[in-house]
Structure 1
Amino acid sequence: MNSKTVAELLSQDVTLQDVTVKGWVRTFRANRFIALNDGSTINNIQCVVDFENFDEALLKRVTTGAAIHITGELVESQGKGQSVEIVVKTLEILGDSDPETYPIQPKKHSFEFLRENAHLRTRTNTFSAVMRLRSSLSFAIHKYFNENGFYYMHTPIVTASDAEGAGETFKVTNLDIKNPPLNEDGSVNYKEDFFGKETNLTVSGQLEAESYAMSLGKVYTFGPTFRAENSNTTRHLSEFWMIEPEVAFMDLAGNMDLAEDFMKSVLSYILDNNRDDLEFLDKRLLDEDKTKPQAERSDMSLIEKIKFVVDNNFKRVSYTEAIDILRNCKPNKKKKFKYIIEEWGADLQSEHERFLVEKHFKCPVILFDYPANIKAFYMRLNEDGKTVRAMDILFPGIGEMVGGSQREERLDVLKEKMKALDISEEELWWYLDLRKYGTAVHSGFGLGFERLVMFATGMGNIRDVIPYPRTPQNAEF
C-alpha cells in the first residue's frame, strides 16, 4: 500500500478505506490520540489508538518528535477540528525521540530559542508555514518569468566586482593568511592568489545579468548574495537571496510596469495556493498585536496587507513630489518622525516610506527620479543633471520592497560617473564594452527575497524567514 501525505489524507472525500502514513508525533494524548504531521500541511491528522491492541512498551515510545509509520482505516472524525481521522491498525516506530532532551516540546517557544535550534524549528507550526510559503514564492517567481519569456541565468558567486561600490564584501582567497606574499610596498600580492587578483563573494548579479540581457533580451537571476555589513538589525543578513531581472529595450516606465505585474502575480499565487498557512500566520499576528500598545498595532491583518498590494494600482510619484508631501505633513511638522525631512536630497527612511503608503496615498507607491548622489553609478542620469531614472516600490508595513532603474547606456556619461566615484574602468572594462557595441536602453530591478518572505508571512525578523541565518558572529549549522 502506497503511503499518503497528511495533506492528501485530509483532502480525501472517501472514507472507510485502509491508508498508510508516515510522519512525526506532535502530541500523544491519553495514550489514545496521536497528532501526526509530515510537513505537507500545517494541519495534523488525528490517529486513534485502541490501547488494548498494542504493547504498552511500544506506546511508551510514541513521544513528541518520534518518527512513526501508521496503517489504519480512514474514517469520519468523531471529534471537533478535523473532518477525518485514522483508526490505527499497525504502528511502527521509525525513529525514537528522547522526551527528556527533545527541544521542540508542545508549548510556546521564543523565536530566539528556535533560532538556536534552527535544525528543528520547522517542527513547529509557525516555521513550517513560513518555509512552505518561502518555497511557494520561489516557485511563483520562476513560473512568472518562465511564462513571460525570460531566461534564467546563474551569475558568478565569486567575482572581482563590487556592483554597489560600498566595499562591504567578503574576500575570497587561498593565500596563507598568516604569511601572505607581499609587494615591495608591503601590500598583499594578489597576483599569487588563486584567481590572480582580488576576488570576493558577490553582492549582486546585476552587472553580469545586464551583459546577458544585451544579447538574450530578457533574463533574470535568482541566487545567493553576500554583504559584509556589520549590522545586527532585524532587517539585515550577511547571506541572502536576490531576484534581479534585466530587460533590453525597456525604459523606466516599462520597468515599473514589469515590477508591479511581477509583485502582484507572485503574491496572488500564495493567496491561491497557501491559504491554510496564511490563515495560521494571520491569526498568529492578530494574537501578537493584542499584546502591543494601541499605537503600535497594525491597521491591516496579514492577508489584508497582501490583498492591499494585489488589488490596488501602484501610485507613481516622483521623489521631488514625495519630498514636498513629507516636508509638509503633520508627523514631520510636529517632529514625530525620527528623521525630520528638511530639504530636497534627503535619503528616505522606512518611516517616511510607510507614511506615503499607509497614510497619504493608501496604496503601494513607486517613487522615481531620485537624486543622483544617493543612488548607484549605473543608473541613467536625467536631463536635469541631478536626478537619475531610479525607482523604488514601497509596501505597507515594510517600506522599500523593490529597487531598480533604467541603466546608463551612454558610454561617455557612464565613464564620467565612474571617474567621479573613483570606480576603476580597468576592472569594469567588459561592462563598458556593452556601451561600445550595440548599446541600447535597458532596465532592471532587484528584490531581496527574504524581505518578500517577511512581507508575505508577517515575520518581524529576517532571521526567521531563511533556513539558516548568517549574521555577524553567527554561522552556526
Structure 2
Amino acid sequence: MKIQSVKALLAGESLLQEIHVKGWIRTFRSNRFIALNDGSTINNIQCVVDFENTDEATLRRITTGAAVSIKGTLVESQGRGQSYEVQVKHIEILGDSDPEEYPIQPKKHSLEFLREKAHLRVRTSTFSAIMRVRSTLAFAIHNYFRQTGFNYVHTPVITGSDAEGAGEMFRVSTLDPKNPPLTENGQVDYSEDFFGKETNLTVSGQLEAETYAMGLGKVYTFGPTFRAENSNTSRHLAEFWMIEPEVAFLDLDGNMDLAEDFIKNVLSYVLEHCEDDLKFLEDRLKDEEKTKPAAERSEMSLTEKLRFVIDNNFKRVSYTEAIEILKQSKPNKKKKFQYIIEEWGADLQSEHERYLVEKHFNAPVILFDYPAKIKAFYMRLNEDGNTVRAMDILFPGIGEIVGGSQREERYDVLRQKVADMGIDEKELWWYLELRKFGTAVHSGFGLGFERLVLFVTGMTNIRDVIPFPRTPQNAEF
C-alpha cells in the first residue's frame, strides 16, 4: 500500500479508504490519541488507537518522539480542531525510542535550548515551519531567475581573492600547522601548499559571477559563503548563503528595478504557498510581542510586514538626501540615536535605516550613491569623484537586506582603485582583464538568504533560520 502524507490525509483525499501513513509522534494522550506529524505540514493528524486490540508492549512504546507506521481508515473526525482522523487498525513502532531520554517534550522549550539540540529541533512546530518556509523561498528564488532568463552559475568555494577586501576569511591549507615550510624571511611558504598559493573560503561569488555575466548576459549564484568575523550577535553567521545576480548591460537604475521586482515576486510566492506555516509563525510572533515592553513591540504583524514590502513602491533616495533627513530628525537632534549623525560620510547603522523605512517614508527604501570611502573597490565611481553607484535596500524591522552596485567597467579607473586600496593587482589580474576585452556597463547585488528567511519568518536570531548554525566557538553537528 502506498504511503500517504499527513498533508494529503488532512485534505481528505482518501476519506473512508484504507490508508498507510508514517511519521513521528508529537503527543500520545489517554492511551488512545496520537498526534502524528511527518514534516509535510505544520498540522498533525489525530490517529485513534483501539487500545483493547493493541498489546501492552506496543502501547508502552507509543511515546513522544517515536517513529511509527500506521495502517487504518481515514474518517471524519468527531472531535474539535480537525476535520479528519485515522482509525488505527495496525501500528508498528519503528526503531528504538526512550521516552525518558527524548529531550523534545510536548512543552515550550527556549530557542537557546533547541540550538543545543539542532539535530532534533526540526521536529518542533516552530522549526519545521521555518525550514519549510526556507525551502519554499529557495525554490521561489530559482524559479524567479529561471523565468526571467538567468543562468545559474556555481562559483568556487575556494578562492585566492577577497571580494570584499575585509581580510576576515577562513584559510584553506594542507600544510602541517605545527611545522609549515618557511620562506627565507620566516613567513609561511604557501608556494608549497596544495594550490601553490594562499587560498581561503569565499566571502562572495560576485567577482567570478561577473566574468560569466560578461559572456552569458544574465547569471546568478546561490551558494554558501564564509566570513571569519568574530561576532556573536543575533545577525551574524560564519557560514551563510548568498544570492548574487550579475547582469551585463544593466546600469544602477535597472539594478534597482531588478532587485525590487525580485523581492516582491519571491515574497508573493511564499505568501501564496506557505499559508499554514506563516499563520503559525505569525501567531507565535504575537505571543512573543506580548512579553516585550510596549515601546519595543512591532507595529505590524508578520503578514502585514510582508504585504508592506509587496504592496509599496520602494522609495529611492540618495545617500546625501538621507543624511540630511537623519541630521534633521528628532531622534538625532534629541540624541536618541545610539550613533548620532553629524556629517556626510557617516556609515549608516540599523537604527538609521529603520527610521527612514518605518518613520520617515513608511515604505521600503533604496539608498543609492554612497560615499566611495565606505564602499568596495569594484563599485563604479561617479563623476563627482566622491560617490559610487552603490545601492542598499532597507526593510522594516531589519534595516539593510540587499547591497549592490553598478560595477566599475573602466580599466584605468578600476586599476587605480585597486591600487588606492592596497590590493595586490596580481591577485586580480583576471578581474582587471575583463575591463580590457569587451568591457560594458554591468550591475548586480547580493542578498543574504538567512536575512531574508529571518524577515519572512519573524524570527529574531539568525541562528534559528539555518539548519546548523556556524558561529564563533560553535561547529557542533
Please give the range of the TM-score, normalised by the shorter of the 2 chains: over 0.9
Deviations 1:165-192 (A, max 9, x none): 0100001100011111111100111110
User: Which sections of structure 1, spanning at least 5 residues, go unmatched?
Assistant: none
Distance 2:152 2:415 in 1: 29
- Describe the superposition over 1:177-223 as per-residue Cα deviations: whole angstroms up to 9, x where unpaired: 11111111001111100000000000000000000000100000000
**In 1: Cα distance, 2:95 partner to 2:266 partner:** 38
Q: Does 1:292 align with 2:292?
A: yes
Task: Determine the structure 1 residue equivalent to 2:121.
Answer: 121
Show the counterpart of 2:394.
Answer: 394
2:221 corresponds to 1:221:
yes
Q: How does 1:245-284 map to 2 (within 5 A)?
A: 245-284=245-284
Query: Number of paired residues?
Result: 477
**2:288 & 2:229 partners in 1: Cα distance?**
30
Q: CA RMSD in A?
A: 0.6
- 2:326 match: 326
- Superposed CA deviations along residues 53-98 of structure 1, whole A, max 9, x for unmatched, are 1111111100000000111111111111111000111111112311
* 1:450 equivalent in structure 2: 450
Which one-letter code corresponds to 1:453 in the other structure?
V
- Which residue is equivalent to 1:177? 177
Q: Secondary structure at the match of 1:435?
A: coil
* Matching residue of 1:312: 312
Q: Return closer, same or farther for 1:72/1:382 CA change in 2, 3 Å cut-off.
A: same
Which residue pairs with 2:145 in the alignment? 145
Shift of 1:13: 5.1
Query: In the TM superposition, what whole-angstrom CA distance separates every residue of 1:72-129 from its partner, at most 9, and x where no partner exists?
Result: 1111111111110001111111123111110100011111110000000001000000
**Residues 135-190 of structure 1: CA distance to partner in whole angstroms, max 9, x if unpaired?**
00000000000000000010000000000001000011000111111111001111
Secondary structure at the residue paired with 1:79?
Answer: coil
Say if 2:422 is the partner of 1:427: no
DSSP 3-state at the match of 2:435: helix
DSSP 3-state at the match of 2:135: helix
Report deviation, 1:14.
5.1
The separation in 1 between residues aligned to 2:101 and 2:92, in whole angstroms, is 22
What does residue 357 of structure 2 align with?
357
Aligned to 1:107: 107
How big is the shift at 1:429?
0.4
Distance 2:435 2:16 in 1: 69
Other structure's SS at 1:428 match: helix
Amino acid at match of 1:421: M
Alpha-carbon shift at residue 425 of structure 1 (Å): 1.0
User: SS of 1:277's equivalent?
Assistant: helix
What TM-score, normalized to structure 1? 0.99
| Residue identity in the other structure for 1:148 | T
Match runs of 1:6-155 below 5 Å: 6-12=6-12, 15-155=15-155
Q: Quick one: distance in 2 between partners of 1:471 and 1:96? A: 33
Give the partner amino acid of 2:397.
G
Aligned to 1:206: 206
Paired residue type of 1:66: A
* Aligned-pair identity (%): 77
**Structure 1 Cα separation of the partners of residues 299 and 386 of structure 2:** 37
- For 2:121 and 2:369, the matched residues in 1 are separated by 43
Q: Which amino acid aligns with 2:401?
A: M
In 1: Cα distance, 2:210 partner to 2:23 partner: 46
- The residue type paired with residue 116 of structure 1 is E
Per-residue CA deviations over 1:305-361 (Å, capped at 9, x if unaligned) read 011111111000000010010000111111110000111100000000001001110
2:155 and 2:189 mapped to 1: Cα distance? Answer: 27
Give the SS at the match of 1:385.
coil
For 2:226, give the aligned amino acid.
F
Partners of 1:149 and 1:228 in 2: how far apart?
A: 34
Say whether residues 1:190 and 2:172 are aligned partners: no
Amino acid at match of 1:357: V
Tell me by how many angstroms 1:18 deviates.
1.2
Distance 2:395 2:289 in 1: 19
Structure 1: how far apart are the matches of 2:352 and 2:97? Answer: 50
Amino acid at match of 1:214: M
Alignment of 1:457-468 (within 5 A): 457-468=457-468
CA distance in 2, matches of 1:462, 1:15: 41
Provide the C-alpha distance between the structure 1 equivalents of 2:77 and 2:96, rounded to a whole number of angstroms: 28
For 1:73 and 1:96, how far apart are their aligned partners in 2? 26
TM-score w.r.t. the length of structure 2 is 0.99
- Structure-2 residue corresponding to 1:240: 240
**Residue identity opposite 1:260 in structure 2:** E
Shift of 1:264: 0.4
Taking the aligned partners of 1:40 and 1:174, their CA distance within structure 2 comes to 43
Distance 2:95 2:68 in 1: 7
SS at match of 2:434: helix
Give the deviation of 1:15 after TM superposition.
1.9
Cα distance in structure 2, aligned partners of 1:12 and 1:317: 51
Name the CA distance, whole Å, in 1 between partners of 2:16 and 2:181.
Answer: 75
Q: Distance in 1 between matches of 2:310 and 2:454?
A: 16
CA distance in structure 1 between the aligned counterparts of 2:9 and 2:54, rounded to whole angstroms: 24
Runs of 4+ in 1 over 4 A off after TM superposition: none
User: Which residue of the partner structure matches residue 415 of structure 1?
Assistant: 415
Find the counterpart in structure 1 of residue 348 from structure 2: 348
Q: Aligned partners of 2:273, 2:335: CA distance in 1, in Å?
A: 44
Q: Deviations over 1:373-406 (max 9, x none)?
A: 0000000000110000000000000000000000
Give, in whole Å, the separation in 2 of the partners of 1:153 and 1:440.
20
Distance, in Å, in 2 between the alignment partners of 1:2 and 1:214 is: 49
Take 1:165 and 1:298, find their aligned partners in 2: how far apart are those partners? 36
> 1:163 maps to which residue?
163
Matched to 1:231, the amino acid is: S
